[in-house]
Chain A
């Protein structure tokens, strides 16, 4: 087992395009690190550079204390689970799991003992003699993991391992991977584009966009203190709402009305003109189901209501001024989304009786509003103490 250190890693392609640009990440021994971002952010390239399937243009890659930039994949002693599992179709499950051991020339008795142990852990005992073609998606996934755990690898690398499974199975396998990693205590790097996987699995999460590291922090820090618009929009589901806002004194003017901000936040946002206010859907509520709490309320017409039992999503359209509308469209593109018309999503209590078309009174928790500079996308109200590493801030500050 070992730590993995990336120092100023750059991957440049023949056309000069940097797929990974000056990324530095330290992964501690035994840590579960997530690399997350929309497609094309360079997360898979980074993972493939760790394992040695991709050349490193510049920078240092260390596993433990050893610089591995020039080592072939087989000399790096890492185990990887591929997106399509890459199981060998001509070998049985048993032989698939045994494959790395056979390559290493281990004696049959040792192979057998290790394969049996792995298959017991992964509940594959009854499938050992079958070929991968006859297995279900979840079973294939477990075989791929079996192939990784039989070796005493220094680290596990996962490349979007759950993206080919259906939603229910994905949830189960997620817990399974988490449990396995905790038990083996092995350093793990896990690539995903799914923010739920990132939030639930990782000790720490590295958010990437177009080859640049945006923020490296714990899931909680990312959620509560996103470093910029992109991270704020990427983490959380449904995503954070961004509303045009101007701050005067401690009052923020939003499309639906005025909201009182805590003084320290208002102060940091002062003098920036038109801003984007980031408010997570759950910071809203139906004012009528809420008793005696502080915060502001406003009235708005609810266009669509989705009742999910434990909560209710209310959709409230608004018009964005052209200056921020363009910024929001760009953000949508960065997040791999479709540019939709601007609307506010409020996650209300499941008790709410609001119906579509109602003129409702909505409550908002103003203490948790973030304010972003629409030009740079920076979060003006970030609590740097609890936001992990934000490379962008470090360089501009």
Chain B
């Protein structure tokens, strides 16, 4: 690494920060504008008269808008966490097999994962809509959890098998020679070593489930199982030509907070996971 840092890099640094953070700053600023201000029209960046009103409405269980939003928040958390957990468990088993074992059909599994990673989710909306109504999964948590698991499996399997492959094969053999059964070798050696990878896969999976929109609006019909992105899209307010900008911005800020926390805490892991194995060779 050469230590040369020209003016160009300084400018680049500032440009990247502005690029990434300006829209975030914008919704934060908007969330402090009063409803009256946005109804009249408020094209300036900063609020004229900052107010906490929007937050008070949205985080108030007794307010209808707040009630719906909080329900959606609970749905989002519940569905995303359960889908993440199950997906990572399934993916861990599959990735271990793919990275470590030689078995028939391995190529097939990999190709299938790849195909699903590229799959247009919208193609499935119709048939799933039909099937879910038959199985009484329409507008339920499992109705979203099951497809979310499916669509996050490829990414999780990829990330995890890249991590598993980095663990020296000898490590397990050494444990066996040291007197461990296969299960002990897996429990005491592989699991602790793979934990960071599993965690990374979990973060990426969570992001997907937290972000998902198409299925969320298609397979739900009430606030009983609607997630935040879906709820936000229905949250138009009384006047369809003048949506409640400030409240939508506030909702946006609130759902972005978990993302920012996760990014702040685990940035290294996320980058490693996103690029794992993507550029080898």
Q: Name A residues whose Cβ lies closer than 8 Å to a Cβ of B.
A: 51-53, 72-74, 78-80, 82-84, 86, 88-90, 99-100, 103-104, 147, 151
Contacts and interface: CB of A to CB of B under 8 A. Distances in A.
B189 A100 contact: no
A100 B189 CA distance: 12
Contact of A74 (B177, B188, B189, B193): B177
A103 B177 contact: no
A370 to B, nearest CB: 40
B170 interface: yes
Interface string B171-184: 10111111111001
Contacts of B178: 74, 79, 99-100, 103, 147, 151
A145 to B, nearest CB: 13
B179 to A, nearest CB: 4
Interface residues of B, number: 17
A99 B177 CA distance: 11
A51 B168 CA distance: 18
A103 B179 contact: yes
8 contacts: A53-B173, A73-B173, A80-B174, A86-B168, A89-B193, A99-B175, A99-B178, A147-B178
Contacts of A78: 177
Contacts of A74: 176-181
Contacts of B171: 86, 88
Contacts of B277: none
A187 B278 CA distance: 47
B198 to A, nearest CB: 14
A91 to B, nearest CB: 8
Contacts of B189: 88
A86 B170 contact: yes
B258 interface: no
By secondary structure, the B interface counts as helix
A73 B193 contact: no
B170 A51 contact: no
B192 interface: yes
Contact of B192 (A52, A80, A86, A90): A90
Pick the 8 closest A-B CB pairs, nearest first.
A86-B174, A100-B178, A86-B170, A73-B176, A90-B192, A74-B179, A103-B179, A80-B177
Contacts of B181: 74
A73 B188 CA distance: 17
Report which residue of A72, A73, A104, A147 has the largest number of chain B beta carbons within 10 angstroms of its beta carbon. Answer: A73
Given A89-B193, A90-B193, A73 B170 contact: no
Contacts of A84: 168, 170
Contacts of B192: 88, 90
Contacts of B176: 52-53, 72-74
Nearest to A105: B179
Interface string B89-116: 0000000000000000000000000000
A74 B170 CA distance: 15
A329 B64 CA distance: 88
Nearest to B180: A103
A391 B57 CA distance: 90
B173 A86 contact: yes
Nearest to B167: A89
Given A74-B180, A80-B177, A82-B170, 4 more contacts: A86-B170, A86-B174, A100-B178, A103-B188
A327 B121 CA distance: 65
Report which residue of B173, B184, B192, B193 has the largest number of chain A beta carbons within 10 angstroms of its beta carbon. Answer: B173
B170 A83 contact: yes
Contacts of A89: 193
Nearest to A78: B177
Report which residue of A78, A83, A89 has the largest number of chain B beta carbons within 10 angstroms of its beta carbon. Answer: A89
Nearest to A73: B176
A78 B178 CA distance: 8
A79 B177 contact: yes
Contacts of A72: 176
A104 B184 CA distance: 11
Contacts of B170: 82-84, 86
Contacts of A73: 173, 176-177
A51 B193 contact: no
A88 B180 CA distance: 13
Contacts of B175: 88, 99, 103
A73 B180 CA distance: 9
B167 to A, nearest CB: 9
B168 to A, nearest CB: 6
Nearest to A150: B178
A73 B177 CA distance: 5
A90 B197 CA distance: 14
